């Protein structure tokens, strides 16, 4: 694709250059069309402290000390890093007039890759698969509400500010009922139209279980393309919705009466030579697939810090809720953490991980799965995989529980030698420090529960 010719042909006046930060949120700069040629050649500078912020956008590392608080001289003093555009990512944004968009990789000014670039982290994990290709199918739940008060007064500002006041698009719990879908269809159509113009491989649009809850699914894609698609999907949905007076949120469990938690079910398999390496002609999973599954189970607690990276996400792990709560797998069982789908001779055989929240950074989520699965695969030829029996009653199974809090998940990640080796100690320590800063802020807040529980009693 000749991007400069595309810009000229479509009368593009500006181009957004973005990268996915440590939280999977797009950040970047917008340049005039006249500056794009130089940006394609030399990249676009951004402040390195963008990689040092927690979810409130507060810098939680000492950026003005030696090594920038992370032991990297190139990041000291809030020095610039460079966004290098990925030319194949060029898209014209259908909701933003005369505007195009490009995803970027990060590098230092001497051309070295930035080790905290989450997209680069996934690239390294994918390289370790060798002749195997990671295939991912995305099944994403989220909420869309109508905005009644945008809360844009000065006293609503803050770090973070107050979110908008909203009302539901639907009420009740009428999962997959057609008339409920028809109620949300005007909004779905707005989203579908623009997402298709972005060339995202949409498969289905569903009314989920809870009020005002949606589910979109995307066709299977190779690992890096699937992660890029997830980042673009989330950002696009939020922007499109907002321009039409709606608030879309991928937060797991909004604090609104009667709403349900949103999850992100990750369907994954490995392909080799164009064939599904998880498929067996006689069993539900090939030997490679069984070992990969065993690896996912073994490291699920540590990987939780990447699949469920927010404090709020752990409010979803409830028994009998179609969300997992313990380390089990099951054949076609939606109560299990890991659901094996398919069967003998089925080219669609795959493992569905039901642990994730929709807010997860896809690059880190995928990388955690690959490192876990590779550890299981490393045991091939050394005996059978250490798999417990398939759980037919997932919420009664005798098995270790998933972490109940983000702190517990971070402790599990800190102790997981395989994940530390896969991501590298510097990245794991960086990630844990950043997430613990969020936990520390949370622990200092006085919650409504505390006030209700103690204010009158004592």
Dihedral class, residue 130 (left if φ above 0, else alpha if ψ from -120 to 50, else beta): left
Q: Are 209 and 83 found together in one domain?
A: no
pLDDT of residue 267: 97
* Residue 434 included in any domain: yes
pLDDT of residue 333: 86
Q: Are 314 and 356 found together in one domain?
A: yes
pTM confidence score: 0.96
Q: Are 417 and 358 found together in one domain?
A: yes
Domain boundary among 53, 81, 116: 116
Q: Are 158 and 270 found together in one domain?
A: yes
Alpha-carbon distance of 334 to 321, in angstroms, equals 10
* Residue 388 included in any domain: yes
Domain boundary among 74, 89, 116: 116
pLDDT of residue 156: 92
- Closest listed residue to residue 243, CA positions, set 93, 384, 448: 93
What is the number of helices (H) and of strands (E) in the chain?
A: 12, 16
Q: Are 353 and 372 in contact (CB under 8 A)?
A: no
Q: How many CB atoms lie within 10 A of CB 421?
A: 12
Q: How many CB atoms lie within 10 A of CB 344?
A: 12
Q: Are 165 and 194 found together in one domain?
A: yes
Q: Are 35 and 169 found together in one domain?
A: no
Q: Are 43 and 64 found together in one domain?
A: yes
Dihedral class, residue 7 (left if φ above 0, else alpha if ψ from -120 to 50, else beta): alpha
Q: What is the crossing angle of helices 300-307 and 287-298, to 10°? A: 80
Q: Are strands 246-249 and 44-47 parallel, antiparallel or unpaired?
A: unpaired
What does the block give as tokens for 233? Answer: 């999907």
What does the block give as tokens for 15? Answer: 């181009």
* Residue 458 included in any domain: no
pLDDT of residue 391: 86
In angstroms, the Cα distances linking 431 to 52, 306, 428, 458 are 10, 9, 5, 39
Residue 256 DSSP one-character state: S
pLDDT of residue 385: 73
* Residue 456 included in any domain: no
CATH code (residue 356): 3.30.590.10
- Closest listed residue to residue 307, CA positions, set 354, 260, 261, 351: 354
Dihedral class, residue 245 (left if φ above 0, else alpha if ψ from -120 to 50, else beta): left
CATH code (residue 71): 3.10.20.70
Dihedral class, residue 109 (left if φ above 0, else alpha if ψ from -120 to 50, else beta): alpha
What does the block give as tokens for 188? Answer: 């779905």
* Residue 451 included in any domain: no
What does the block give as tokens for 148? Answer: 């009644």
Alpha-carbon distance of 262 to 259, in angstroms, equals 9
Q: Are 83 and 159 found together in one domain?
A: no
* Residue 76 included in any domain: yes
Name the CA radius of gyration of the chain, rounded: 22
Residue numbers of the domain that contains 52: 3-116
pLDDT of residue 381: 87
* Residue 275 included in any domain: yes
> pLDDT digits over 378-425, tens only?
999 887 777 888 888 888 888 899 999 999 999 999 999 999 999 999
* Residue 431 included in any domain: yes
Alpha-carbon distance of 332 to 345, in angstroms, equals 16
pLDDT of residue 319: 72
Q: Are 27 and 135 found together in one domain?
A: no
pLDDT of residue 427: 98
Q: Are 223 and 134 in contact (CB under 8 A)?
A: yes
pLDDT of residue 383: 78
Q: Does 175 sit behind a cis peptide bond, omega within 30 degrees of 0 on the bond before it?
A: no
pLDDT < 70 stretches in the chain: none
Q: Are 60 and 132 found together in one domain?
A: no
What total number of domains does the chain contain? 2
pLDDT of residue 458: 95
- Closest listed residue to residue 374, CA positions, set 265, 294, 279: 294
Q: How far apart are the first and last CA of the chain?
A: 69
Helix or strand run (H / E) with residue 329: strand 329-331
Q: Are 149 and 71 found together in one domain?
A: no
Domain boundary among 54, 86, 116: 116
Q: Are 112 and 135 found together in one domain?
A: no
pLDDT of residue 175: 81
Q: How many CB atoms lie within 10 A of CB 364?
A: 27
Report helix, strand or coil for 118: helix
């Amino acid at each position: 694709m000749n991007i400069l010719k595309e810009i000229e042909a479509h009368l593009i006046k500006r181009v957004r250059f973005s990268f996915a930060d440590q939280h999977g949120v797009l950040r970047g700069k917008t340049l005039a069309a006249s500056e794009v040629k130089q940006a394609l050649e030399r990249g676009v500078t951004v402040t390195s402290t963008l990689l040092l912020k927690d979810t409130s956008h507060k810098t939680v590392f000492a950026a003005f000390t030696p090594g920038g608080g992370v032991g990297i001289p190139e990041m000291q003093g809030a020095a610039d890093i460079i966004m290098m555009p990925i030319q194949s990512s060029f898209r014209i944004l259908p909701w933003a007039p005369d505007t195009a968009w490009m995803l970027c990789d990060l590098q230092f000014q001497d051309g070295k890759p930035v080790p905290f670039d989450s997209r680069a982290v996934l690239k390294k994990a994918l390289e370790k698969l060798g002749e195997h290709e990671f295939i991912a199918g995305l099944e994403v739940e989220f909420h869309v509400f109508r905005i009644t008060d945008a809360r844009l007064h000065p006293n609503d500002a803050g770090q973070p500010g107050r979110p908008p006041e909203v009302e539901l698009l639907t009420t009740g719990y009428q999962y997959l009922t057609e008339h409920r879908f028809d109620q949300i269809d005007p909004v779905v159509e707005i989203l579908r139209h623009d997402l298709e113009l972005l060339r995202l491989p949409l498969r289905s649009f569903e009314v989920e279980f809870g009020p005002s809850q949606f589910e979109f699914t995307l066709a299977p894609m190779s690992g890096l393309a699937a992660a890029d698609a997830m980042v673009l999907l989330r950002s696009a949905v939020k922007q499109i919705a907002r321009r039409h007076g709606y608030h879309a949120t991928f937060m797991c469990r909004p604090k609104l009466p009667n709403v349900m938690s949103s999850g992100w079910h990750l369907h994954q398999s490995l392909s080799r030579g164009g064939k599904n390496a998880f498929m067996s002609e006689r069993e539900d999973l090939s030997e490679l697939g069984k070992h990969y599954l065993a690896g996912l189970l073994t490291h699920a607690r540590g990987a939780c810090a990447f699949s469920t990276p927010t404090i709020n996400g752990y409010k979803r792990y409830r028994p009998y809720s179609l969300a997992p709560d313990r380390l089990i797998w099951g054949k076609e069982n939606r109560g299990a953490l890991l659901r094996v789908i398919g069967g003998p001779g089925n080219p669609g055989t795959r493992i569905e991980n039901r642990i994730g929240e929709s807010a997860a950074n896809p690059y880190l989520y995928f990388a955690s799965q690959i490192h876990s699965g590779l550890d299981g695969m490393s045991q091939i030829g050394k005996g059978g995989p250490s798999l417990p029996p398939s759980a037919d009653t997932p919420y009664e199974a005798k098995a270790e529980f998933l972490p109940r809090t983000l702190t517990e998940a971070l402790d599990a990640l800190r102790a997981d030698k395989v994940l530390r080796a896969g991501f590298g100690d510097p990245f794991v320590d960086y990630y844990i420090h950043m997430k613990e800063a969020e936990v520390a802020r949370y622990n200092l807040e006085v919650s409504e529960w505390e006030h209700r529980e103690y204010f009158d009693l004592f």
